[in-house]
């Protein structure tokens, strides 16, 4: 299984630029100009097995990439949904990279072991990712997905140590 660095979104402009949803803490290094990045796409989609970064930039908090192999918007459109990946055997693979599908459904426990909810999603943000948690009373809450607040990710649960009152903020907003 590969480590996902980003997922390609929609084209931006006419010259082959695409938006990407980042899944890496180090996009500047991972997507440096000239870097060859492996891809995962639907079989038969015609997406190359690797793409070479031609340019990167951030526009309104969104990362935009162009690839040497993709000259125009039509080519960029064909990339939508493609994952940019790092083979798991790569020694530079990120230590703590998680797939959304691996997290959804995990029980969420506090530091005392009490169940507080279930992971229902992962939102990728420009500064940090957030776990979407459905609390035991049905309220939806967002927990910054950082080591200090989510110190444990196990096979069947995650442990959260949220700042005091974090979940109460969401409960007040739900009333």
pLDDT tens, residue by residue, 33-68: 999 999 998 888 889 999 999 999 999 889 999 999
Host H or E run for residue 100: helix 100-103
pLDDT number for residue 139 = 94
pTM of the complete model beyond 0.75: no
Those residues whose C-beta lies under 8 Å from the C-beta of residue 169, and which sit 6 or more positions away, are none
pLDDT number for residue 93 = 47
- Residue 170: pLDDT above 90? no
Q: Cα–Cα distance between 77 and 141 in angstroms, integer?
A: 34
CB atoms within 10 A of CB 166: 14
pLDDT number for residue 126 = 59
pLDDT number for residue 91 = 45
pLDDT number for residue 89 = 54
- Residue 101: pLDDT above 70? yes
Question: Mean pLDDT, to the nearest integer, of 7-28?
Answer: 90
Question: Mean pLDDT, to the nearest integer, of 141-151?
Answer: 88
Q: How confident is the model at residue 3 (pLDDT cuts 50, 70, 90)?
A: confident
Asked if 2 contacts 85 with a C-beta cutoff of 8 angstroms, the reply is yes
């Amino acid at each position: 299984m590969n480590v996902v660095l980003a997922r390609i979104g929609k084209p931006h402009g006419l010259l082959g630029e695409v938006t990407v949803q980042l899944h890496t803490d180090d996009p500047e290094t991972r997507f440096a100009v000239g870097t060859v990045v492996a891809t995962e796409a639907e079989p038969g989609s015609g997406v190359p097995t690797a793409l070479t970064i031609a340019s990167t930039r951030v526009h309104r908090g969104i990362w935009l990439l162009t690839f040497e192999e993709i000259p125009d918007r039509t080519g960029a459109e064909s990339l939508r949904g493609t994952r940019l990946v790092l083979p798991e055997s790569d020694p530079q693979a990120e230590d703590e990279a998680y797939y959304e599908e691996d997290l959804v459904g995990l029980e969420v426990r506090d530091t005392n072991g009490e169940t507080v909810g279930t992971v229902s999603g992962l939102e990728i943000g420009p500064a940090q990712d957030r776990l979407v948690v459905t609390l035991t009373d049905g309220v939806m809450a967002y927990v910054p997905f950082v080591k200090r607040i989510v110190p444990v990710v196990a096979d069947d649960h995650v442990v959260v140590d949220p700042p005091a009152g974090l979940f109460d903020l969401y409960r007040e907003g739900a009333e």
